A and B are shown apart, each in its own frame.
Chain A
Amino acid sequence: MSHITPDELNSAAEGFLKELQARTEPLKPKDRMQIPGQDMPSQDPDVRRGNTSEVALGYTPAQAMLEAQRCLRCKRQPCIKGCPVAIDIRDFVEAIADGDNAKAISVIKQSSLLPAICGRVCPQEVQCQAECTLGKGLRDPEKSVSIGRLERYVADWEREAGQIGTPEVKASTGKKVAVIGSGPAGLVVAADVRREGHDVTVFEAFHKFGGVMLYGIPEFRLPKAIVGLEIETLQKMGVQMVPNFVVGRTRKLQDLLAKDGFDAVFVGTGAGLPKFMGIDGENLVGVFSANEYLTRANLMRAYEKGKAATPIVSSRRVAVLGGGNVAMDAARTALRLGAEEVHLIYRRTEKEMPARVEEVGHAKEEGVQFHILQNVKQIIGDEHGCVKQAELLRYELGEPDDSGRRRPVVIEGSEFLMDLDTVIVAIGNSSNPLIKQTTPEIEATSWGTLVADESGKTSMDRVYAGGDIVLGAATVILAMGQGRQAAASINTLLASES
């Protein structure tokens, strides 16, 4: 697939937009259906695999207006039901079509606090865009209105125009709320609770704020400056941010309530315990969890060679095991760190991959080699205990399993060897065990996730939880959705006591 430059995309859009604007009669749904869907301008794959700058460059104004004109403005608005935070999608898209970006962003902000982030990392294709009437009409969900790209467009417009205001904070209530973890769930809770006038302190175990948005999602997909700006906004609102603080260890969760005067606690500690395959050779030098590899690269900035003190292996031949977004992030990071070959190994087919279609596409464009229906049986080391090879097995698809996906079945005798020096395991995360280990009162499932009801309430009085610590490994937007719910519950609880 040849790369279309941003300029080419923009001039095509400008031409089409001019034609539309020359029309005198209003657009009919049939006309809207004929407007070409706008591709996301991106860095040339050959260039970007050598840098860490953002890959997707964002719509130009002409592209955004044209894409927004594709919305059929249907009465049913099924897209809203597909959105975990129920943004008034039709209204904001219509505002973009009218050229009223300020209105568009204010519509989004009624429901979502972090549109610049969600517009980049939400899996819209399985949420709002999966429901889109246009996509259904064109019998191709990929031809739905690109809601996510439009969301990003207006969020970036607001930021670049220096228009981001600090949300209003009500008069102080004197109530105190602790938020554990500064990932997407925690940030949303902090903002929503602070707006009601409560004092909020966010505790983060790492030395920087942002959780998975900082240590996990790479710069080329979500620039750290965007996350940093959201943190700054919270600080301007008066939220206290405390780094290097592990609740459970530095201070027990119970003590926050009993000794430190917090009236409620939100636990948003995420899914931070990497899973391994349990195969031979997994502890060889050169085998990493995706968490470790990405944390070294992102949070510890190993990609800035010569500056960062945290080392990262210099790999030539890398295998990434897994088919999710984290696997794509790890594979693409390995390329950027100079690997000659990156092999992505997944035991089902591309159709079953949990990664976003767009991320799979980007990885392929950059040269990641996909090996589907294969899995690693064992990793083989050299005399120094370093990775030398992996033994792989081929699979075929059998009967559907509990998840409805066809179960991969080993083809007997299909073993073969692949020369490697690095293996990155990206098969998911379990819940972080620290809160559970140090807070015996709190109820957890056998998988280690915390039990919380629909309102976010846990088994402990005044303690709420949300995000991956409740969901298991999920997405940024689902974490934000749970954060909103928990924040509303906390606000209700505190209001009833004032």
Chain B
Amino acid sequence: METRACEHTILYKEQLSEEVFLMRVTAPLIAEERLPGQFIILQVDDNYGERVPLTIADADVEEGSITLIYQTVGATTHKLAALNVGDAIVALVGPLGRPTHLEKVGKVVCVGGGIGVAPMHPIVQGLKEVGNEITVIIGARSQELVILEDRMRELADELIVCTDDGSYGRKALVTEPLKELCESDPKPDLVVAIGPPIMMKFCAETTRPYGVPTVVSLNTIMVDGTGMCGGCRVTVGGETKFVCVDGPEFDGHAVEFDEMMKRLQAYRAQEAKAHDSWHHEEHTCNLVKAAAEKA
């Protein structure tokens, strides 16, 4: 094993939508070890930068790369999106978290909301490989934000796309087709839901009356990602669990979503400020650039 294996260079970059980017990054060891459901933590600055958890959307063992798909929401993801092919990501660690439990159960519905379709991708692959029949529901605010549709169409036995504004597919929330599937015969044996917390909460509420086991993948605030800080803790079935080492996947019917959503807001003001100052810096830079060009 060479230390070069621990360097992470961007091999490919694509903007999937206004806010969503895909990057393929060298990470041969992670590509080899990663399993569906796992995530990495990265930093764009290893002195003052924050550690951001991102799910692994895909991996290529031969190329020695992993695929990251992320939405630019805060200062760090914006800085990441500003990097280009050939640039290095200074710190990237993983794969973290417990992998998805893959088992043939029969009929599985996979619900991916927004950027949640990215972590869903390897899980659909894995569940398919062990012989499940899969329906994928993709949900997005609008057509522009639908990602990985072609890939999911290849993998799934059935694909349903919903948008909030009706600009593409069904004008519906993902819970609508999910409810219909729960009412159909035979009903699903398993539902996996990944997306914004509010979506996962309502997916779990939708399946609860039908008694369909529902797995959700949580993306809480983390610092180290190895069990050390406990910042990611959630209440599941009345017990405190750490998302990084006990999860990220949990029984959606047992997760206390309201508490989790409040905890996700903990740094909202500071995050907004960091984002603004990043924006300001970028803006200033562009102005300076423009001035330089004129001169």
Contact = CB atoms under 8 A, between A and B. Distances in A.
Given A245-B93, A273-B227, A433-B245, A251 B33 contact: yes
Nearest to B91: A207
Contacts of A407: none
Contacts of A272: 224, 226-228
B142 to A, nearest CB: 30
Interface in B64-101: 75-76, 90-96, 98
Contact of A385 (B1, B47, B96, B263): B263
A295 B228 contact: yes
B79 to A, nearest CB: 9
Interface in A247-261: 249-252, 259-260
Contacts of A300: 50-51, 223
B76 A309 contact: yes
B184 interface: no
Contacts of B183: none
B172 interface: no
Nearest to B246: A433
Contacts of A437: 98, 245
B159 interface: no
Given A246-B96, A273-B228, A292 B223 contact: yes
Contacts of A432: 226-228
A385 B263 CA distance: 8
A31 interface: no
Contacts of A310: 49-51, 223
Given A292-B229, A309-B75, A385-B263, A246 B235 contact: no
B114 to A, nearest CB: 24
B158 interface: no
A291 B222 CA distance: 12
A386 to B, nearest CB: 8
A295 B223 contact: yes
A192 interface: no
A427 to B, nearest CB: 12
B224 A250 contact: no
Contacts of B90: 207
A205 interface: yes
A259 B95 CA distance: 19
Interface stretch (A280-288, A341-349, A359-367, A370-378): A280-288
B3 A292 contact: no
B30 interface: yes
Contacts of B235: 283
A276 B6 contact: no
A221 interface: no
A446 B231 CA distance: 24
Given A308-B48, A310-B51, A245 B259 contact: no
Contacts of B46: 207-208, 243
A296 interface: yes
A244 B231 CA distance: 19
Contacts of A296: 223
A377 B94 CA distance: 38
Contact of A250 (B49, B94, B271): B94
A324 interface: no
Interface residues of A, number: 49
B40 to A, nearest CB: 9
| Most chain B beta carbons < 10 A, residue from A259, A286, A292, A432 | A292
Interface in B220-270: 223-224, 226-231, 233-235, 240, 242, 245, 258-259, 262-263, 265-267, 270
A389 interface: no
B29 interface: yes
Interface in B1-33: 1, 3, 6, 29-30, 33
Interface string B189-219: 0000000000000000000000000000000
B1 A251 contact: yes
A240 B3 contact: yes
A311 B270 CA distance: 7
A403 B250 CA distance: 38
Given A251-B33, A272-B226, A309-B274, A283 B3 contact: no
B135 interface: no
A283 B227 contact: no
Contacts of B47: 301
Nearest to B76: A309
Contacts of B29: 250-251
A208 B1 CA distance: 21
A386 B267 CA distance: 12
A263 B3 CA distance: 18
A434 B1 contact: no
B238 to A, nearest CB: 11
A433 B227 CA distance: 8
Interface in A305-339: 307-311, 313
Contacts of A245: 6, 93
B26 to A, nearest CB: 13
A205 B95 CA distance: 11
Given A283-B259, A309-B48, A434 B94 contact: no
Given A242-B3, A246-B93, A283-B240, A434 B234 contact: no
Interface string B28-58: 0110010000000001011111110000000
A404 B245 CA distance: 35
Contacts of A146: none
| Most chain B beta carbons < 10 A, residue from A205, A243, A259 | A205
Contacts of A240: 3
A289 B233 CA distance: 10
B48 A304 contact: yes
B287 to A, nearest CB: 21
B245 to A, nearest CB: 6
A283 B228 contact: no
Given A251-B1, A291-B229, A300-B50, A311 B245 contact: no
Interface of A: 205-208, 215, 240, 242-246, 249-252, 259-260, 272-274, 276, 278, 282-286, 288-289, 291-292, 295-296, 300-301, 304, 307-311, 313, 384-386, 432-434, 437
- 4 nearest CB pairs, A to B: A385-B262, A292-B229, A311-B270, A272-B228
28 contacts: A207-B90, A207-B91, A207-B93, A242-B6, A244-B91, A244-B92, A246-B94, A249-B94, A250-B94, A272-B227, A273-B228, A273-B230, A276-B240, A282-B240, A285-B265, A289-B230, A289-B231, A291-B230, A295-B223, A295-B229, A296-B223, A301-B48, A309-B48, A311-B50, A311-B270, A385-B262, A434-B227, A437-B98
